[in-house]
Amino acid sequence: MKECKTIQKVIFILAVICVSITQSWADSWKEIFFADPTIFVENGKYYLTGTRNREPQGFAILESTDLKHWTVPNGKDLQLILRKGDQAFGEKGFWAPQYFKDKRTYYFTYTANEQTVIASSKSVFGPFRQKEVKPIDASAKNIDSFLFKDDDGKYYLYHVRFNKGNYLWVAEFDIKKGSIKPETLKQCMDCTEPWEKTPNYKSAPVMEGPTVMKWDGVYYLFYSANHFMNIDYSVGYATASSPFGPWKKHPNSPIIHRSLVGENGSGHGDVFKGLDGKYYYVYHVHRSDSTVSPRKTRIVPLILKKGNDGIYNITVDKEHVIKPMWK
């Protein structure tokens, strides 16, 4: 009997220790607060960055192998891949980054001072710098850049310009000069659908956060609509047979919305192909039902099913939304 009680006591102590270790492990992981996030995939790893809106100004990086658990690559508390004042344009408003690799060069487009910018590096970890510190197009304010390379080798810059609201534009891009070809500049579409302009937050029309994919010869333009402070900030998509359009908005839109993913302000992210061969969308949501910022990062699998017209009907696997954590 005495031995039995001793064994029970040992088992109880071990259970307490296991619970404590598990709780300590869980407590060491923290939520990720990147707005306008993007994920770059290479060599069996995911690299995440996004808008931080805090000092030191610039862009930080996290890495992962499973999309759920993220760490700082250099093992420290913070690793910046582009820093304010380090041979890169901008003093404030470092927003909406995108990784783009072409041959052996890594490019990094972002917004600063309400201007789109491109920098480069020979490493995914940066530092991303400019030979000539300048914006892509200083002739007008423009934000939310996305660089796309077509099958014929031409480059296109999708971005947002202001005209009593935020609208999506595209222009052919000269990657050697780091500038658009202004004669090719064209607005992609207007704000026309009820889901793109809900009354829950009063603002001018907003269409932003573009990502372009090309599947089976068709161009897919993912974008966010409504003001980011609107609980109905959400993601839809349009298709075209040319990088310049005309764009046809898909009736499935929005594909990411609070009614689908369960959190307010769900939008402005990027599409990426996972290590499992599936496509995902990384985006941000409001901090809570009553607070917008700092915005939290989320990831959701995309479901692509081709319709009779050859166009993919895109939905999300709302039962498997990932809430990534870091330490």
pLDDT tens profile 21-57:
444 445 699 999 999 999 999 999 999 999 999 999 9
Instruction: At 222, list the tokens.
Output: 């993912």
- The answer to whether position 68 is within a domain reads yes
Residue 3's pLDDT is 56
Q: Which of 36, 144, 263, 270 is catalytic?
A: 36
Q: Under a CB-based contact definition with an 8 Å cutoff, are residues 62 and 32 in contact?
A: yes
DSSP state of 279: E
Percent of the chain with pLDDT over 70: 92
**Is 102 a residue of the active site?**
no
Residue at 13 is within a domain: no
208 is an active site residue: yes
Residue 9 placed within a domain: no
- CATH number of the domain encompassing residue 288: 2.115.10.20
Q: What is the pLDDT of residue 7?
A: 54
Q: Are 45 and 63 in contact (CB under 8 A)?
A: yes
Pairing of strands 62-64, 58-60: unpaired
pLDDT 10s digits, 157-170? 999 999 999 999 99
Instruction: Give dist(CA 232, CA 225) in Å, integer.
Output: 8
User: Is residue 6 in some structural domain?
Assistant: no
Cα gap 31→41, rounded to integer Å: 21
pLDDT tens for each residue of 305-322: 999 999 999 999 999 999
- Summarize pLDDT for 228-254 with one digit per residue, the tens: 999 999 999 999 999 999 999 999 999
280 CB-near residues (< 8 Å, 6+ apart): 39, 67, 271, 272, 273, 274, 299, 300, 301, 302
12: DSSP letter: H
**Domain enclosing residue 304, as ranges:** 28-121+132-324
**How many domains does one find in the chain?**
1
| pLDDT given at position 5 | 55
Show Cβ contacts of residue 249 under 8 Å, excluding neighbours closer than 6 positions.
189, 192, 193, 236, 237, 238
| Residue 246 host element (H or E) | none
Strands 142-149 and 155-162: antiparallel
Query: Is residue 97 domain-resident?
Result: yes
The helices-and-strands tally (H runs, E runs) of the chain is: 2, 24
Task: Classify residue 23: in a domain, yes or no.
Answer: no
Give a yes or no: residue 127 inside a domain: no
Closest CA to 269 of 304, 226, 298, 240: 298
pLDDT digits (tens, 9 = 90+) for 258-307: 999 999 999 999 999 999 999 999 999 999 999 999 999 999 999 999 99
Active-site residue, selected from the candidate residues 63, 196, 208, 232: 208
pLDDT at 24: 45
How far, rounded to the nearest angstrom, does the alpha carbon of residue 146 sit from its chain's CA centroid? 10
Give the alpha-carbon dihedral of 307, 208, 90, 56, to 10 degrees: -80
Residue 110: inside a domain:
yes
Please tell me the predicted confidence (pLDDT) of residue 1: 54
Res 151: pLDDT: 98
Please give the Cα distance from 17 to 15 (Å, whole number).
5
